Structure 1
Amino acid sequence: MVKEIRPLGWVVLAVLVIDTVLLAALELFFLPLRLDGTLLPLAGWIPVPVTVLVAVLTTPLLVSSAGRLVHPRAAFAPLVVWVLTVLALGLFGPGGDQVLIQDWRALLLLAGGALPAAMALGGSLAVKPERKRP
């Protein structure tokens, strides 16, 4: 028996997708933060990819929430939207600027957002096999 998505489920999915786009944009724009004394304390210009930690925590949460609240097959939407938003804004950002910095922090952001979310997606799609009746 296939569970269909209710109309309220579409609203919940839209809210989760909008939240995904906003989080991906903020994680991308604040990726170059440094301990330079302006916004964060002064500690020798050390790069601090705090937004990677945010991505590690929020993307799996969004994926599992979509799978639990909407439909197990809808769980892929936040992951796909997050990756597309980071790549689109990062490579073709506002005004044609390249926002995705070209160093280890960009790779860390992509891995930190996509890998835990992919694991959560696998957990959402995992279904107990039905027992066949004799």
Structure 2
Amino acid sequence: MSAPVAGTGTGPARTSPLNWALLALLILDTVLLATLELFFLPLRLDGTLLPRLAWIPVPVTVILAVVTTPLLVSRAGLLVHPKAAFAPLLVWVLTVLVLGLSGPGGDLVLIQDWRALLLLAGGALPAALALGGALAGNPGRSG
């Protein structure tokens, strides 16, 4: 198997410093989103502070995690290299676990009920699917 020749379109494209800066910004966004999703996990549409959504309490930040983590993962894979798509998922999981289990002042921020499991599943599973899609690559894209 021969090595790809530069400029032929068969090898990995050169990544600009701007793309690396954007990846760093995506990682920072991932940390901020994971922190917000964790701290506001008890906030839900249950009629106490926010209006009730039917009769089912819905943790609002889980919906935010389900939407944002796959977007961050897929965008990171497009910016630098498909293998870089793992970074937002890894950073999100580490932020939720480290901050949730040893929060500010040693407090346990990750609540001990079904909402914590829902947050972990809602953030990690869709992002893992997006990671698989990023690693599989786009058939129309070379690299």
TM-score clears 0.5: yes
Instruction: Name the TM-score, length of structure 1 as normaliser.
Output: 0.86
The one of 112, 136, 140 equivalent to 1:126 is 136
Instruction: Name the TM-score, length of structure 2 as normaliser.
Output: 0.81
The one of 78, 81, 85 equivalent to 2:88 is 78
Q: What is aligned with 2:64?
A: 54
Residues 49-106 of structure 1, C-alpha deviation per residue, up to 9 Å, x if partnerless?
A: 1110100000000000111122211111100000000001100001110000011100
Q: Secondary structure at the match of 1:2?
A: coil
The one of 104, 115, 118 equivalent to 1:108 is 118
Letter in 1 for 2:127: A
Contact 1:17 1:81 in 2 (8 A): yes
After TM superposition, give the deviation of residue 112 of structure 1 in Å: 0.4
Paired residues, number: 126
After TM superposition, give the deviation of residue 42 of structure 1 in Å: 6.3
Distance 1:120 1:42, change over 3 A: closer
Moved over 4 A (4+): none
After TM superposition, give the deviation of residue 5 of structure 1 in Å: 3.0
Residues 100-119 of structure 1, C-alpha deviation per residue, up to 9 Å, x if partnerless?
A: 00111000000000000000
Taking the aligned partners of 1:70 and 1:12, their CA distance within structure 2 comes to 9
Unmatched segments (≥5 aa) in structure 1: 129-134
Taking the aligned partners of 1:47 and 1:30, their CA distance within structure 2 comes to 14
Unmatched segments (≥5 aa) in structure 2: 1-10
Letter in 1 for 2:89: L
Larger strand percent: 1
Residues 33-55 of structure 1, C-alpha deviation per residue, up to 9 Å, x if partnerless?
A: 14353x31368xx7431110100
Asked if 1:40 corresponds to 2:50, the answer is yes
Contact 1:31 1:105 in 2 (8 A): yes
Letter in 2 for 1:104: W
Contact 1:33 1:49 in 2 (8 A): yes
